[in-house]
Amino acid sequence: MLEGKVAIITGGTRGIGLETVRTFIENKAKVILFGSKKDTVDKAIETLKNEGLEVDGYYPNLNNFSEIEKTLEEINNKYKHIDILVNNAGISANKKIEDTTSEEFEKIIDLNVNAIFNMSKAIVPYMKEKGGVILNTSSMVGIYGQASGVGYPASKFAVNGLTKSLSRELAHYNIRVNAVAPGITNTDMVASLPKEMIEPLIKTIPLGRIGEPRDIANAFLFLASPLASYITGVILSVDGAARN
């Protein structure tokens, strides 16, 4: 479905990001994964190599625009074009507001919102001529909010706003911009949350299970592919019909 395409996936070293890397490679894309540091990038590359999958990797600071620009220039020089960007890097939070410091809130916004702005701004020049796809990871809490940890849903509401606005701004370049809003998904990020937060949420899922990373990766695959050529500005919920 992605043969001949070059894709960059941030937060690609674990969880949903790593599974999306795997899914894109299986669908014949050339994939470059971004991680937060060298050792996690190297580990992800080694994991995929052992599966017979070839991938490239970088670890730029996503809050340093000039560093991103240099990295994208290097990638473009190597691959000659960049067709797909998946902005997946992010962090969660569940502290009550009275226990959350301003620094902790800013850290969430920096990675979950500002990094998407930086990556999207830097990628546009490489997509303006022939079009492209920008995909963002949102969340079900970016639609419904959550009971504790205000920074995370606030950041995902912002992701939705970026997605919808950029879809309109960039449409004349044939750059499609969409987001996937996962529900509860079986990743290490979810595993770190307290049971008293997760178990009541699972009971609200009509399909009776939490999502798997491949469920989310398949949604990204669809939106990145020609099958979604007339879809832009959409926040695609992949949550088993959970409605909180």
pLDDT of residue 121: 98
What does DSSP assign to residue 99? G
The full set of domain ranges for the chain reads 6-232
pTM, to two decimals: 0.94
pLDDT for position 244 = 56
The full length of the chain comes to 244
Q: Where are the beta strands (DSSP E) in 153-203?
A: 175-182
Q: Into which CATH architecture does domain 6-232 fall?
A: 3-Layer(aba) Sandwich (3.40)
Lookup: tokens for 123: 């990628």
CA distances from 136 to 33, 178, 180, 182 (A): 15, 6, 6, 11
* Per-residue confidence in pLDDT tens, the chain, 244 aa: 999 999 999 999 999 999 999 999 999 999 999 999 999 999 999 999 999 999 999 999 999 999 999 999 999 999 999 999 999 999 988 889 999 999 999 999 999 999 999 999 999 999 999 999 999 999 998 988 888 889 999 999 999 999 999 999 999 999 999 999 999 898 876 777 777 877 887 888 999 888 999 999 999 999 999 999 999 999 999 999 886 5
What are the residues facing 237 on neighbouring strands?
Answer: 181
Answer yes or no: are the C-beta atoms of 156 and 139 closer than 8 Å: yes
pLDDT at position 15: 94
Active-site positions? Answer: 152
